[in-house]
Amino acid sequence: MPTFPVRIDSRLPQVGTTIFTVMSRLAQECGAINLSQGFPDFNAEDVLFERVAHWMRAGFNQYAPMAGVGPLREAIAHKVAALYGTAYDPETEITVTAGATQALFTAVAALVHPGDEVIVFEPVYDSYAPAIELQGGRVVRLQLAAPGYRPDWDAVAAAITPRTRMIMINSPHNPTATVWTADDLAGLAAATRGTGIVVVSDEVYEHIVFDGRRHESCARDAELAARSVIVSSFGKTYHITGWKVGYVVAPRELMAEFRKVHQFNVFTVNTPVQLALADYMADASRHEGLAAFYQAKRDFFGAGLAGSRFELLPSAGTYFQLARYRAICDEPDTAFVERLTRDSGVAAIPVSAFFADGRDERVLRFCFAKNEATLAAACERLCRV
Ligand SMILES: Cc1ncc(COP(=O)(O)O)c(C=O)c1O
């Protein structure tokens, strides 16, 4: 293999392989139970696969319209209106994307100019900062402090400057499993009132909220909806993370800018899958039942760890469970998680990976989107640590 003869001036010099890839690879190497990366180890329903096969056989295998097939955009409009009471126009305000990651990247690329500031809350999902930096934007990091991980609106107000172009939020939140309340949204509305700030609201876990809570979408609040690009993911909702299909809803002015970029970095998402998802979404019980489905898994996992030395933090939503391990050791979380994977056979994610400065609060993130047999086996091993 020839080697590239010139030193590459990297656009992302600090970025290596993500912790999710690293931990999944280590889990595989060690034959460990993989509770690190966030994906289910169970399958979606056959009927969804049948619908994909149906549309393929029926000849729907060529490019879809740039914004997504009509029936899927209609179905998304219907769902969002039914859940959050806001009508988005499928023609001009809804776009189907290649997963949420692409949607987030495209939103940033479309709206952030070099020198603009973008506020994010740490611990933060790993794709946000590189997306901002690639556009020449400046990442302004505010902290969600353990153990409550609530946003501090005074800190937000103090961080806003004339250069603040965007605030990126995520609720239900990965990795902390916290869920924003109506008060949090009111805080965001107050902080951005009278500014030109765009909110990018990552709502990929919108259907996974526990104990009777409701998801506070930015779409619920007319003032916030008017400045928000809202991102969701079918991967999380229908157990198909590998299909990489998601969507964005936004006011038409923002969506017009979004589509200018989308048409050149993706153009369009695969046709038969979109048509199948449109069919599948017609039954609302499929997303309405998701919270109870995952709450049972959260409770099963929690009960299985009751006899362990892990200290579980509250999980109000998402399919993640944070755990402190101060009763076990005081090792850095990266060292401990590696030892846990190698010696005890369970992989997790060290939460320090979600902080730019590697802040280590000695907390691990476990993914409980797994069959009960997987969770039971993991709990048995974790109880021996
Ligand atoms: C908070 C958050 N945003 C975005 C994504 C990416 O979603 P997708 O797989 O649809 O790109 C994930 C996936 O783990 C996530 O946890």
Mind listing the pLDDT tens digit for each residue in 44-70? Answer: 999 999 999 999 999 999 999 999 999
Written as six digits, the tokens of 165 are 């172009």
pLDDT, position 146:
78
Tell how far the Cα of 5 is from the centroid of ligand 1, in angstroms. Answer: 36
pLDDT, position 19:
87
- pLDDT above 90: percentage of residues in the chain: 95
Tell how far the Cα of 129 is from the centroid of ligand 1, in angstroms. Answer: 14
Across all residues in the chain, what is the average pLDDT?
A: 96
CB of residue 40 inside a 6 A radius of ligand 1? no
pLDDT, position 148:
86
Q: Which atom of ligand 1 lies nearest, measured to the CA of 125?
A: 1
pLDDT, position 17:
84
Q: Tell me what the mean pLDDT of segment 176-194 comes to.
A: 96
pLDDT, position 145:
81
CB of residue 321 inside a 6 A radius of ligand 1? no
CB 245 within 8 A of CB 238: no
76: three-class secondary structure by DSSP: helix
CB of residue 235 inside a 6 A radius of ligand 1? yes
CB of residue 233 inside a 6 A radius of ligand 1? yes
What pLDDT, in 10s, does the model give residues 251-269? 999 999 999 999 999 999 9
Q: Which atom of ligand 1 lies nearest, measured to the CA of 101?
A: 11
Tell how far the Cα of 172 is from the centroid of ligand 1, in angstroms. Answer: 11
Q: Which of 124, 236, 237 to mutate to test the pocket of ligand 1 (most atoms within 8 A of CB)?
A: 236
Exposure on the CB side of residue 365, measured as CA atoms within 13 A: 26
CB of residue 352 inside a 6 A radius of ligand 1? no
Q: Which atom of ligand 1 lies nearest, measured to the CA of 170?
A: 1
pLDDT grade, residue 108 (50/70/90)? very high
CB of residue 187 inside a 6 A radius of ligand 1? no
Tell how far the Cα of 203 is from the centroid of ligand 1, in angstroms. Answer: 9
CB 156 within 8 A of CB 166: no
CB 352 within 8 A of CB 358: yes
pLDDT, position 84:
98
Q: 37-46, 139-148, 155-164: which range is least confident on average?
A: 139-148
pLDDT grade, residue 306 (50/70/90)? very high
CB of residue 37 inside a 6 A radius of ligand 1? no
pLDDT, position 289:
96
pLDDT, position 105:
98
Q: Tell me what the mean pLDDT of segment 193-222 comes to.
A: 98
Tell how far the Cα of 92 is from the centroid of ligand 1, in angstroms. Answer: 24
Handedness of CA 304, 310, 314, 317 (dihedral sign): negative
230: three-class secondary structure by DSSP: strand
Dist CA 243 CA 270 (whole Å): 9
Q: Tell me what the mean pLDDT of segment 13-21 comes to.
A: 86
Nearest CA to ligand 1 atom 13: 38
CB of residue 204 inside a 6 A radius of ligand 1? yes
Dist CA 294 CA 296 (whole Å): 5
What pLDDT, in 10s, does the model give residues 231-241? 999 999 999 99
Tell how far the Cα of 236 is from the centroid of ligand 1, in angstroms. Answer: 8
